[in-house]
Amino acid sequence: MLNDSQISSVSYAYPVVPGDVRAGLVTALGTVEAALARSADAGIPAFVLSTCLRIEIAVPAPMDRLDEALSLIFRETPAVDGSVRRSGTDAVEHLFRIVSGLESPVVGEREILVQFRQATAAAGKHGMANGAFRSLFDAAIATARSVRSELPTDPRRSMASIAAGLTAPADRVGVLGHGSMGRSVAEALLALPHRPVVEVFVRRPEAIEMEGVIVRSLGEAPSALVTLPAVISATSAKTRLIPAVELARIFADRTEPLTLIDMAMPPDFSPTEETAVRYYDIDDLAGLSRDRNSRGRADRMVAESAAEFAHKIWASKHTGSLIEHLFDQADDAVAEVVERLAGKLTSPQDRALLEQAAHTATRKILHRPVHYLSGDGAKEAATVAAAFGIDLDD
């Protein structure tokens, strides 16, 4: 029901868009804040969700405006095989599915809800603070909360927990980064049955307070790659964390195998096959995490919520037009009746009285329907329009 001129979106997502292509897009994007600012300065409010597995961009406008936004966000419009464009109700439902965790390798993962909320907050600072576009994302988040009861509730079922499990049986594990994913990884490690010593490496160690972990400076990351049996990287760096030449030297200094799990996008590392490193990038991890469990009623609940929201937005946009059409039809009917009876009237005053009486009657008849459509009855706009033969999409 929501038409294509009201929202357009594009997805660059695992598994159809490979990790190296997504990494290039993330690099072109730069910081989300800067990308949003570029689009907003051109008068196009946008939503940008950039995670390790997907980039989602949406605008409250038709496809040509989406192309314009993309050229600003990425500094040129990317041509990417596997990208998917959506508009109208399809775009709404896709966003609802993402935040609900239905498009995640681990269905219902909690990290995506946090990331989606952060993306919504960032967009709110750059022209998306009010209106139907903002209400779309608020409604998506509310739906995600409501469907949680229909999805698996095991808190260990997440990308972070899968990564943590791959480090076994290491007795010491390093975590590079302490953003939303880094914190989730540290928590997942602390929840393991064998519970290793967890060392977290961050740029500002003094700002981190987390019970049960050792906090170190990110500058010590090279030594972690030399001495620790397992390292999980979850930074938000836009370039390689350690230059390739130095990384090769570090790995050459190791005397024991290393499990290196790289959850960053773009990846923090690129070890060569000659090194004794068991390396997993984010796409490897997603493949291991792919969840085939039943989603119960969640798919249907999300589809219904998305359709209801889309219909509500369409109706609110068209209610004013519908009411105007109803009055126009009433006025046309009055004019037709008065013209047909004009020959039987004896004076101009009689014609004026008839016209006034007819207008008063039609306004009285329309009062209740108009009041209803202006309130809770907006959702019935399409039905009322069809009953009166009005095409609201013209």
CB 226 within 8 A of CB 199: no
What burial class does residue 43 get, using C-beta atoms within 10 Å of its C-beta: 0-12 exposed, 13-18 middle, 19+ buried? Answer: exposed
Enter the tokens of residue 90: 């399809």
pTM equals: 0.79
Read off the pLDDT of residues 191-219 as tens digits, 9 standing for 90 and up: 999 999 999 999 999 988 899 999 999 99
CATH number of 8-153: 3.30.460.30
Cα–Cα distance, 141 to 98 (Å, whole number): 10
The pLDDT of residue 122:
95
The pLDDT of residue 1:
46
3-class SS of residue 217: strand
Read off the pLDDT of residues 136-161 as tens digits, 9 standing for 90 and up: 999 999 999 888 878 765 655 688 99
Half-sphere exposure for 32 (CA within 13 Å, toward CB): 21
Enter the tokens of residue 42: 């051109």
Q: Give the residue carrying structure tokens 């930074």.
A: 235
> Would the pLDDT of 221 be above 90?
yes
Which residues share a beta bridge with 87?
8
Q: Between the ranges 270-279, 298-307, 381-390, where is the mean pLDDT highest?
A: 298-307
The pLDDT of residue 67:
95
> Would the pLDDT of 4 be above 60?
no
CATH architecture of 159-289: 3-Layer(aba) Sandwich (3.40)
Best CA proximity match to 200, nearest among 234, 170, 227: 234
What burial class does residue 339 get, using C-beta atoms within 10 Å of its C-beta: 0-12 exposed, 13-18 middle, 19+ buried? Answer: exposed
* Dihedral-angle region of residue 176 (phi above 0 means left; psi in -120 to 50 means alpha; beta otherwise): beta
Cα–Cα distance, 315 to 334 (Å, whole number): 27
- State the distance between the two ends of the chain, measured CA to CA, in whole angstroms: 14
Quick one: average pLDDT of 42-70?
A: 95
The pLDDT of residue 202:
95
Domain boundaries, the chain: 8-153, 159-289, 314-387
Pairing relationship of beta strands 84-87 and 8-13 according to DSSP bridges: antiparallel
